[in-house]
Chains A and B, each alone.
Chain A
Amino acid sequence: MNSEELKPGFQGSTPRALLENATISVKKEELRKVLSQLKDAGFDHLSDVTCVDYPDEREFEILYHLWSHAKKCRKVVKIRLPRESPSIESVSNIWEGAQIHEREICELFGVNFEEHPDPSPLFLEDWKEIPPLRKDFDTREYVKREYYDESSSEQKEGGCFLLPFGPQHPASGHFRALIDCAGEEVTGLMLYPGYLHRGIEKLMEYRTHEQNAMLVDRICVLEPYSYELGYANVAEKIAGVEAPERAKFIRTIMTELGRILSHITWIGMMSFALGFESANRIAWGDREKIIRLIEIASGGRIYPCHFVPGGVRRDFPEGFEEKISRVLNHLQKKLVFYDDLFFKNATVIKRTEGVGVLDAKKAVELGTTGPNLRASGVKSDIRKDEPYEAYPEVDFEIVTQTKGDSYARVLCRRGEIAESISIIKQLLEKIPKGETRKQLPRKIPKRDARFCLEAARGEACFYMVGNETDKPYRVKVRGPSFSHTLMTFSYLAKGAQVADIPAIYWSLDPCPSDMDR
């Protein structure tokens, strides 16, 4: 697969040079013009905005990663800014969803975005140091001064503590939302994330590949496998090494198990948010069965640390394939039971049907991906569009719905559980024998690579820059929940009833720890 290659058939008046190159460097003045031309030419999805700091060259590099849902191809627009007074025009008037990525860069790198609607800090509170993801900020030196020095003063109290929705709320994740309402109708929603921000991207710059394989697990607690897979793949891509065939199969099987795990956990969360506790209890019971499988394969229950760049840490133990088949058969039978219990339950339908309707155009505009986008009728799945790992070997359907409401998102996830079961069954029949791990060269070459995959929640991407050392120079993680919570949720909440907020929120299946990183 070569995603960088441009597929023919683009329409419009966009200059050919813009369309032919997978990577374009532009000047500051032309940025908006180029990006809006590309959007008109079919690159409707702004996947991510990344910033890389190059203090030696006294420059910041900002990268706009685009994707075309219609043509299934990617494009990168690069721009260099002087490090002294980094300032660039905001592109939030082209893609509404860009504003949240720009706000993050503004906070973590100190880049000023002109005409940005809301450049206030996102993750950190009362931050007085230089922006933490700049290269001249040394987190270890800071930590020594701030936390380990006994003479330093105790942390001062933060701001006020209002809690209409979160951070302490049974149906919210760990973030705070202030809901503005007139009677029962929500008129505005202000979101304050950052309660789980650990600065994982900064920590990765201080660790080698093997150490980072442990750290990427912790990005999303509900579905660690996809992130391990993303990191392993981007590290292999930058080193130019391909993992052995058997390792690819093992990784795909385990990632699909992780997807089922995540969706079943979501059944529990969603039913809890709807006040339907019996489905919650039953879902947690089934989740335990998959967790035990993961424990047998890797040794870890929640954080398996199973995939490393170059392959997998452990091959399947003896007789593991039968154990997977047994659990899958159980789940297949259980899905029919879940249909009666949850998916076709009159209460669930009443609480979710017609609630939080997201049309396809707006969904793409806001940067929505994964099941939430497919529920709005957009047939987009990176497993099919840019097949990676062992996905070219399997035959599966992209599950879509048309209505785009909360119930469509519920049904979409139900369909995906069934598809994942069938994918694993096909892979178990075809799994080859052989080695499971290749050694990667210790030094990471001086170039960049990007890898995108379909996590259970949507598009997860890793961007890595090497610098001829054994540690990555910069890693950027694009988690799906970042756009889902901060853009899609706040869009859907406006105009909804207060009682529907938990139903809308959980129908998007966000993961706060993935959002904050």
Chain B
Amino acid sequence: MGIKHKTRARSLWVINYFTACGFIELLPWVGSGYDMERFGILAKGSPRHADVLIIAGYVTKKALPRIKRIYEQMPSPKYVLALGSCPMTGGMYWDSYSTIKRIDKYIPVDVWVTGCPPKPENIGHGLVMLMKKIENGFEGH
């Protein structure tokens, strides 16, 4: 695809909002061991600077409106990565009265990474999959 998609794929900025336990396996990516900056991925504090929203783990009913609000504040094109079994199916908390069972009922998700929590390698694989998807012309939301 064109230069636009190639450059977009190499400068994914991630919003610094890690909802739950999935964040603990994302943090090795910040450190020197895995080093996400070599892929052009950078953690950002403001949603208005970010391209990627990472749903790291279970989402509670109380957190959902905040996640939606952050998602709405992000400029297009934007991408969503969901980590862990909980945002997909409810996972361990399938019968909990306080968590959301399927996050894609509320916001669109581009890449799912399974695990409880997923290993750093799997998260990296998910991020690279998203980059490939964008390089192949995926326009985001």
Contacts and interface: CB of A to CB of B under 8 A. Distances in A.
Contacts of B116: 303
B60 A197 contact: yes
A202 B62 contact: no
Interface in B13-36: 15-21, 24-25, 27-28, 30-33
Contacts of B90: 147
Interface string B59-85: 011111110111000000000000000
Contact of A143 (B43, B47, B96, B102): B96
A227 interface: no
Contact of B97 (A142, A157, A167): A142
B94 to A, nearest CB: 7
A221 to B, nearest CB: 4
Contacts of A132: 97-98
Q: Is the interface of A mostly helix, strand, loop or mixed?
A: loop
B65 A139 contact: no
A301 interface: yes
A312 B16 CA distance: 37
10 contacts: A132-B97, A143-B101, A167-B17, A167-B66, A195-B19, A195-B66, A196-B58, A198-B58, A203-B95, A281-B30
B61 A125 contact: yes
Interface residues of A, number: 49
B55 interface: no
A54 B55 CA distance: 39
Q: Is the interface of B mostly helix, strand, loop or mixed?
A: loop
Interface residues of B, number: 46
B97 A195 contact: no
Contacts of A129: 97
A419 B65 CA distance: 44
B96 A203 contact: yes
Nearest to B29: A284
Contacts of B63: 167, 174, 195-196
Contacts of A485: none
B21 A302 contact: yes
Interface in B43-64: 43, 45, 47, 58, 60-64
A139 B101 CA distance: 14
Contacts of B62: 123-125, 158, 194-195, 197
B33 A154 contact: no
Nearest to A194: B62
Contact of B101 (A137, A147, A159): A147
Nearest to A139: B97
Interface of A: 123-125, 129, 132, 137, 139-140, 142-143, 146-148, 154-155, 157-159, 161, 167-170, 174, 194-200, 202-203, 206, 214-215, 218, 221-222, 268, 280-281, 284-285, 288, 301-303, 513
Nearest to B63: A195
A301 B25 contact: yes
Contact of A157 (B65, B94, B117): B65
A352 B99 CA distance: 37
Given A124-B62, A195-B63, A288-B33, 8 more contacts: A161-B65, A198-B93, A198-B96, A200-B96, A222-B24, A281-B30, A302-B117, A303-B116
Contacts of A142: 97
Interface string B79-122: 00000000000101111111111100110000000001101000
Residue from the set B15, B16, B58, B66 with the largest chain A CB neighbour count within 10 Å? B66
A200 B16 CA distance: 26
